[in-house]
Amino acid sequence: MAVQTEILSRLKPRIDRLSRPPGLAVVLAGHDPASEIYVRSKIKACAELGIFSAKITPPETATTEELVALVEELNRRADIDGILVQMPLPRHVDARRVLETVAADKDADGFHPLNVGYLVAGRPAPRSCTPAGIIQMLKHYQIPIAGRHAVVLGRSDIVGKPMALMLLHENATVTICHSRTANLPDMCRQAEILIAAIGRPAFVTADYIQPGATVVDVGINRVTDPAVAELLGRSEEFARKGKAVVGDVHPLDMARLAGAYTPVPGGVGPLTIAMLMSNTVELAERHQGAE
């Protein structure tokens, strides 16, 4: 993806100017297959850029206290600039407590309450990677944001809420919709920029899309029913793999109606990793400037 390549190429000279390589620690507890794939992609991106990465894999039985102690140790390490705790954590773990143990100045994901507060206030801080990548993508393809009506479908702390705030900072008029929104198709159809992050496969159909709108599909959903895969135009992929990956937007409706749209897979995912690299480099610059 051109925008991902551009973001990463801009990071290389910044890394070269540092006195030591930026360091990213990734904590992966348990054996969630999707998480393992994501972490491999992140470690690979680090290696290609010259970022030092430490992959820490505590057992699935690790307690909240053990994970908190692990994160506190990473907070103290001078060679680690960014810490990422891969979600989901095992069910018995207090995920919020573990995430909030990450020092705000090592928060590569932009999830710490202090950094969320800085986002609200429009102050510099690590930003949640997926929404930050979407803003970069819209700018790269010269899609106007200021004055446009943007609808964010989904209100998660990871995508929906920070996405709405970032669009607001770019002077869009923003509506946040969710599962309890009345007249949901009508609300979404008003969007000139529609961000779908609701976590339901092909939930957004033609009724939700204004012709010519820009549609950004954040969803990653696995379809295991061949009849559903065929309806979504993914029968060839299903025949090859025994499953198909679709987003939150019906791919055929999106391709037919949208003026511009992101494919799934291969659209927003690579951007998220690029922005994680960007956050890590920015944190390293701050740490080394303060040394």
Q: For residue range 43-75, list pLDDT tens digits in order.
A: 999 999 999 999 999 999 999 999 999 999 999
| Whole-prediction pTM | 0.93
162 shares its domain with 74 = no
**241 a catalytic residue:** no
**Taking the C-alpha atoms of 227, 233, 237 and 241 in order, what is their torsion angle to the nearest 10 degrees?**
-20
User: Using CA atoms, how far apart are residues 151 and 62, in angstroms rounded to an integer?
Assistant: 40
**253 a catalytic residue:** no
| Residues of the chain above pLDDT 90, percent | 81
**pLDDT for the residue 266:** 85
Inside any domain, residue 111: no
**157 a catalytic residue:** no
Which among 4, 81, 106, 109 is annotated as catalytic? 109
**Token pair for 125:** 């801080």
Q: Is pLDDT of 290 > 70? A: no
Which among 4, 42, 210, 217 is annotated as catalytic? 42
Which among 4, 81, 86, 210 is annotated as catalytic? 86
| Domain containing residue 213 | 129-270
Q: For residue range 207-238, list pLDDT tens digits in order.
A: 999 999 999 999 988 888 888 888 889 988 88
41 shares its domain with 165 = no
Q: Is pLDDT of 155 > 80? A: yes
**pLDDT for the residue 33:** 75
37 shares its domain with 149 = no
Which CATH number goes with the domain that contains 26? 3.40.50.10860
Inside any domain, residue 283: no
200 shares its domain with 95 = no
